[in-house]
Amino acid sequence: MMFSKSLILITISALVISFAKAYDPSPLQDFCVAINDLKNGDFVNGKFCKDPKQVKAEDFFYSGLNRAGNTDNKVRSNVTTVNVDQIPGLNTMGISLVRIDYAPYGQNPPHTHPRGTEILVLVEGTLYVGFVSSNQDKNRLFAKVLNPGDVFVFPIGMIHFQVNIGKTPAVAFAGLSSQNAGVITIANTVFGSVPPINPEILAQAFQLDANVVKDLEAKFAPKN
């Protein structure tokens, strides 16, 4: 089958545009420090830009990642996020950071980042980490035990987790390839949606009794 040059160019352009929209756009200026001012500044990637002449060093600064997060919760972990909401200068930069604290046997439960790949480095403790590939790859589990100094990558969109398998607290830092990678915690999303998903639908999807689903929805229902 013969294709015209114009059709080929249109197809290639569509593919390029689709790919470009899948990730944070590349900045076309030195920086675009985010502000919430609706009257002044240009709107770029979900944020308004501060006048470059008004930008200060503080716009690129955050302090506090030396402090451990509170792990007194059901999953016994805490994620301290440093994204564009904490550092306005990250706007359009396509990168962010988190600190994750784990109590002994605590976990960062299965979740996914819809807008970013994650690279994690362990600095204290021992973690069991992994991600599961898509249906296309037959849902394979890729998992490792990490010790201080070890690094692991979680590809964009893949469901992944970390568990502290040691008797002492663990600390990790992770970079994400988005100024705001987002997070979808699987259990909370499925069983804690507002309004809740019909239990009969989830019962069939997970091959569970509907009463079990109702019990799970009660546990994960958002607290007022």
Q: Does 139 count as an annotated binding residue?
A: no
Is 118 flagged in the annotation as binding? yes
Cβ contacts of residue 123 below 8 Å, gap of 6+? 148, 149, 171, 172, 173
- For residue 74, give both structure tokens: 């059901």
β pairing state of 107-112 and 184-185: antiparallel
Distance CA 201, CA 207 (A): 10
Q: Is 108 annotated as a binding residue?
A: yes
66 labeled part of a ligand binding site: no
Cβ atoms 48, 36 nearer than 8 A: yes
CA angle 108, 158, 181 (to 5 degrees): 75
Feature table: binding site for Mn(2+) = 111, 113, 118, 160
Known binding-site residues equal 108, 111, 113, 118, 160
The binding site for oxalate comprises 108, 113, 118
